[in-house]
Chains A and B, each alone.
Chain A
């Protein structure tokens, strides 16, 4: 199975900050990497697919980059509604695997 490792596991940031979350795959996965946001008590919500493609309806302050084994989710200017947990997920092979999550908290 492909292991997905996110860093950091948690971070504290202020509104307006630029935030970057990284995700590393245990083997090459091309650009088959997706990002989800999950708020407490809610289902995950797709943000980015194919490493860098913004899902319809997702604010443009979210962006994704990377290919191969290393990927980054960037929030250009953190908003109050962005405080949540973020997960990466590889689609290169089954079983589809997720990173352990990154909890973005208010500083």
Chain B
């Protein structure tokens, strides 16, 4: 059974940093692209960032480019999101999602499995 478990969310002041983690199990983590998708409370879904199986290719939404950094450790079956210079508009549930493809930009890909999400609240 595929399991994705996010951690690291919490309350943080504007301008500060936070690092999210996603622990994966039940599949060959190193074979698949991974993504972060967020959802502001009561709002829709927004793709944040994606990373290919070997970390060679990475992409970001314009809203987080230059502030967030995605990474992965295939030996630890883990995905990360380093979030710097946080803003109030970054407040959201952050979901880790497994792609069915190996490359994050593969148009045949889709978000086949999701974690339960971790809430990030940015407020003074």
Contacts and interface: CB of A to CB of B under 8 A. Distances in A.
Interface of A: 1, 30, 32, 34, 36, 38, 42-46, 49-50, 55, 87, 89, 91-101
B109 A98 contact: no
Nearest to B105: A94
Given A87-B45, A98-B46, A92 B107 contact: yes
B44 A95 contact: no
Interface of B: 35, 37, 44-47, 50, 59, 61-62, 95, 100, 104-112, 114-117
Given A34-B111, A36-B111, A94 B104 contact: yes
Contacts, number: 64
6 contacts: A32-B107, A34-B111, A89-B110, A91-B107, A95-B59, A96-B47
A91 B114 contact: no
A19 B6 CA distance: 34
A97 B45 CA distance: 8
Judged by DSSP, the binding face of B is loop
A95 B47 CA distance: 7
Judged by DSSP, the binding face of A is loop
A43 B117 contact: yes
A57 to B, nearest CB: 11
A30 B107 CA distance: 10
B4 to A, nearest CB: 9
A91 B44 contact: no
A96 B61 CA distance: 9
B105 to A, nearest CB: 5
Contact of A43 (B35, B108, B114): B114
A51 B110 CA distance: 11
